[in-house]
Amino acid sequence: MSMLSPQLMPTYARLPVAFVRGEGSWMWDVEGRKYLDALSGIAVNTLGHGHPKLVEGLREQVGQLIHTSNLYEVPLQAELADRLIALCGMRNVFFCNSGLEANEAALKMARKHGHHLGHDRPKTIVFEGAFHGRSIATLSATSSAKVQKGFGPLVEGFVRVPLNDLQAIEVALQAHPDVSAVFLESIQGEGGIRPADLDFLRGLRALCSAHNILLMLDEVQCGIGRTGRWFAHQWAEIKPDVMPLAKGLGSGVPIGAVVADGAAAQLFEAGNHGTTFGGNPLAMRAALITLSAIEDDKLLENATARGQEIRNALDESLAGQPGVLEIRGRGLMIGIELRDPCGELVRRALDVGLLINVTSDRVVRLLPALTISKAEADEVTRRLLPLIHDFLRGQR
Ligand SMILES: Cc1ncc(COP(=O)(O)O)c(C=O)c1O
């Protein structure tokens, strides 16, 4: 099936498949073929497709009110903010519409905090392997040369260090006394499912507090239950000062949020930031339903259990195989790093009715819905493992 659409800008290398319907972890294409979805729209469809509570709640909300603007009170924003801050123990929330927008807000907060500290040109520490979005500021914070190519000049004020190297942070802080924030993903997603070590996160927390700089944890991909805790940093028993969220928060309805604590919660004043669509009743309702369903349907427990089953199957079949470098992740955020570029596996998986992704050229990425059943999780590895073994044989 060829579906090149010349009227669309060619920004995506799309697969030749178009879906018309979804139910739970399954999707059907225009020709009626059925696929098992182990990617959930890149960590977006938290509740899978067509979750009855989401469908019913959104239908009702669409009939009631979709958008009013932030010129007026939006009571659902306060309701959702209450829920989010209860889950993470932080102070307040700004709502927007996407991951990069949440990160832009965070970066503005870092700048403002820096000015409060008396720095004219405040800097933010960012990391090798990071991905934070594709606006000019967030692509500058991102570490991929591919993402940045052609879009210079980049935004100034970023200091890049390796992940999981606390000493490198200390050196950077000495070399740059005008740093006002440290910004990283609790688990790098696009960079190849690379977790920040829990000890590293704890060390960062202590350093940031000692230096009065903001710890900003991008939980756009790893947050909202994906790792078996509400937020991935909770595995380290720490709290950030700033936490951008998006993707899975709305189960498919676009939404972003930046949650703040302590001094960070007082940075934005009237007129400092805003967005037309942010916090609209439709998105708020989607997120409220998502959070309730995670609780009601025990999806944190499900993410942990199903994630462990998938990991066990992968470890048993692939660990130590020549060509397999590492299997890593937490809960339902799983990466299999191979020695060789393996993008072709996405196409081969499509042929056997399985939706997966390859990131950083060599990392097979699984991000299924938090609602995935045991039988479906088994089916993911039953379909995936032969493809990986075939691929490895071909590389020998
Ligand atoms: C960790 C992280 N931050 C930010 C973004 C950007 O989010 P969006 O595509 O909604 O702008 C992504 C998207 O993949 C992400 O994984």
The model's pLDDT over 255-302, given as tens digits with 9 standing for 90+, comes to 999 999 999 999 999 999 999 999 999 999 999 999 999 999 999 999
What does CATH list as the number for 65-296?
3.40.640.10
pTM of the model: 0.98
Phi, psi of 218 (to 5 degrees): -75, 110
Which mutation among 131, 226, 365 tests ligand 1's pocket best, with the greatest number of atoms within 8 A of CB?
131
Amino acid letter, 327:
I
Domain boundary assignment for the chain: 19-51+298-395, 65-296
- Of all protein residues, the one whose alpha carbon is nearest to atom 10 of ligand 1 is 99
Kindly state if the Cβ of 190 falls inside 6 Å of ligand 1: yes
pLDDT of residue 396: 83
What's the CATH class of domain 19-51+298-395? alpha beta
**CA 305–ligand 1 middle distance (angstroms):** 26
pLDDT of residue 117: 98
The model's pLDDT over 54-81, given as tens digits with 9 standing for 90+, comes to 999 999 999 999 999 999 999 999 999 9
Annotation says 218 is catalytic: yes
Annotation says 247 is catalytic: yes
pLDDT of residue 363: 98
Q: List, run by run, the mean pLDDT of 10-residue segments along the chain (396 residues).
A: 81 96 98 98 98 98 98 98 98 98 98 98 98 98 97 98 98 98 98 98 98 99 98 98 98 98 98 98 98 98 98 97 98 98 98 98 98 98 98 94
Three-state secondary structure readout of the chain: CCCCCCCCCCCCCCCCCCEEEEEECEEEECCCCEEEECCHHHHCCCCCECCHHHHHHHHHHHHHCCCCCCCCCCHHHHHHHHHHHHHHCCCEEEEECCHHHHHHHHHHHHHHHHHHCCCCCCEEEEECCCCCCCCHHHHHHCCCHHHHCCCCCCCCCEEEECCCCHHHHHHHHHHCCCEEEEEEECEECCCCCEECCHHHHHHHHHHHHHHCCEEEEECCCCCCCCCCCCCHHHHHCCCCCEEEECHHHHCCCCCEEEEECHHHHHCCCCCCCCCCCCCCHHHHHHHHHHHHHHHHCCHHHHHHHHHHHHHHHHHHHHCCCCCEEEEEEECCEEEEEECCCCCHHHHHHHHCCEECEEECCCEEEECCCCCCCHHHHHHHHHHHHHHHHHHHHHHC
Kindly state if the Cβ of 100 falls inside 6 Å of ligand 1: yes
Kindly state if the Cβ of 157 falls inside 6 Å of ligand 1: no
- Say if residues 299 and 293 touch (Cβ distance below 8 Å): yes
Which mutation among 12, 45, 100, 194 tests ligand 1's pocket best, with the greatest number of atoms within 8 A of CB?
100
